[in-house]
Amino acid sequence: MSVENALTSEEMAIGVAHSKLILIGEHAVVHGQPAISIPFPIVGVESIVCHKPGAIEFVSELYKGPADEAPHFLHGMVYCMDATLDYLNLPRRDLNIEVRSTIPPGKGLGSSASVAIALVRSLFAYAGKTYTKEELLMLANVSETFAHGAPSGIDALTIASDLPLWFEKGREIDYIKPKNDFHFVVADTGRVGDTKTAVESVTNLLKTAPKRIQRKLSRLGELTYQARNALEKASKQVLGQLLNEAQKELEALGVSDAGLNRLIAFAREEGALGAKLTGGGNGGCIIALAKNELHSRQLTEKLKNFGAAKVWPFVLQQQDHLEG
Ligand code: MEV
């Protein structure tokens, strides 16, 4: 049970959620390979629920109005809200739900899953109830299924977690224990990607060229095993090479594009030990491994000057304990 990500008073309840990064294994994870993902606390979502008589109102930067008239891109949120209210035996009315987000949507940072997790947390807080991780994920995945079609579940799980994850569909979650601090830089191409379409395109490729594509997915799986080893042995150089190798496979799967490739090439020229896309791809963000903290600050400035829409330096910290 968890209450630490929610706050209630008589008038309102707040639920919060951070975002996520996929270090390695995106797309392959949908087809049974492992992936490593990292909570990304630099950006996040707040969902604020208040009593307001009448039909449920949404307030967000992208839409303000009745929930049942929300535009198509918010339908996942509406389904998630309905499912949660039903689960809590609360009526589907008399609420004002404000969502504030610093996560750019469509950038591979798990915006839809973060909104869902924050929303479910805020509704449970409003009802004065606690939830288990299973309940939280079950309800958040209502929205994820709408947003991503056939998601692996890794986004919601990482957003509900405070530690780096080793994820394989249908297997028990494992937590990763980095042996040292790893300094990353995340940079946004400025263009929105569509994870659902990217996931479908890989699934279609797998149908048309099963042997060739399965080899690529399995290779991504091997790289992910090696990346875990590199994280747990503090081998930065090795991890960087593995990220570069993974990017080659993702390019061959058709989920990288010119904007991502341009930022990745620049980050490598500027000394990144490795760089790849993160998340669904075809737009969205890259993740680059810097040599150290100073280099991560320099790389951040250089990527900004090079034209990245947003750049976030980020440290994956050494972990001494393993409770998620
Ligand atoms: C999206 O963050 C990661 C993908 O592997 C999709 C998924 O796992 O659901 C592209």
Mean pLDDT of the chain: 94
Q: Is pLDDT above 80 for 96?
A: yes
Q: Which ligand 1 atom is the nearest neighbour of the CA of 151?
A: 9
pLDDT band at 144 (very low <50, low <70, confident <90, very high): confident
Looking at residue 148, its pLDDT comes to 75
Whether residue 186 has its Cβ less than 6 Å from ligand 1: no
pLDDT in tens, 174-217: 999 999 999 999 999 999 999 989 999 999 999 999 999 999 99
Under 8 Å between Cβ of 151 and 141: yes
Looking at residue 201, its pLDDT comes to 97
Q: What is the SS3 string spanning 128-190? A: CCCECHHHHHHHHHHHHHHHHCCCCCHHHHHHCCCCCEEECCCCCCEECCCCCCEEEEEEECC
Under 8 Å between Cβ of 67 and 96: no
Mutating to test ligand 1, I would choose from 21, 31, 107, 154 the residue with most ligand atoms within 8 A of its C-beta, which is: 154
CA 59 – ligand 1 centroid, Å? 27
Looking at residue 1, its pLDDT comes to 41
Distance CA 173, CA 228 (A): 14
CA 144 – ligand 1 centroid, Å? 10
Tokens of 78: 């509406």
CA 71 – ligand 1 centroid, Å? 23
Whether residue 109 has its Cβ less than 6 Å from ligand 1: no
Q: Is pLDDT above 80 for 4?
A: no
Q: Which ligand 1 atom is the nearest neighbour of the CA of 28?
A: 5
Burial class (CB in 10 A: 0-12, 13-18, 19+), 261: middle
pTM passes above 0.75 = yes
Give mean pLDDT, residues 142-156.
86
Q: Which ligand 1 atom is the nearest neighbour of the CA of 148?
A: 9
Counting residues of the chain whose pLDDT is more than 70, the rounded percentage is 96
Whether residue 279 has its Cβ less than 6 Å from ligand 1: yes
Mutating to test ligand 1, I would choose from 199, 200, 249 the residue with most ligand atoms within 8 A of its C-beta, which is: 199
pLDDT in tens, 236-245: 999 999 999 9
Distance CA 231, CA 177 (A): 7
Whether residue 270 has its Cβ less than 6 Å from ligand 1: no
Q: Is pLDDT above 70 for 8?
A: no
**What is the amino acid identity at position 115?**
V
Torsion of CA 104, 107, 109, 113, to 10 degrees: 80
Mutating to test ligand 1, I would choose from 158, 195, 220 the residue with most ligand atoms within 8 A of its C-beta, which is: 195
Q: Is pLDDT above 50 for 275?
A: yes
Tokens of 105: 């949507």
Looking at residue 284, its pLDDT comes to 97
Under 8 Å between Cβ of 22 and 280: no
Counting residues of the chain whose pLDDT is more than 90, the rounded percentage is 90
Atom 9 in ligand 1: residue holding the nearest Cα: 151
Tokens of 8: 């209630």
Whether residue 28 has its Cβ less than 6 Å from ligand 1: no
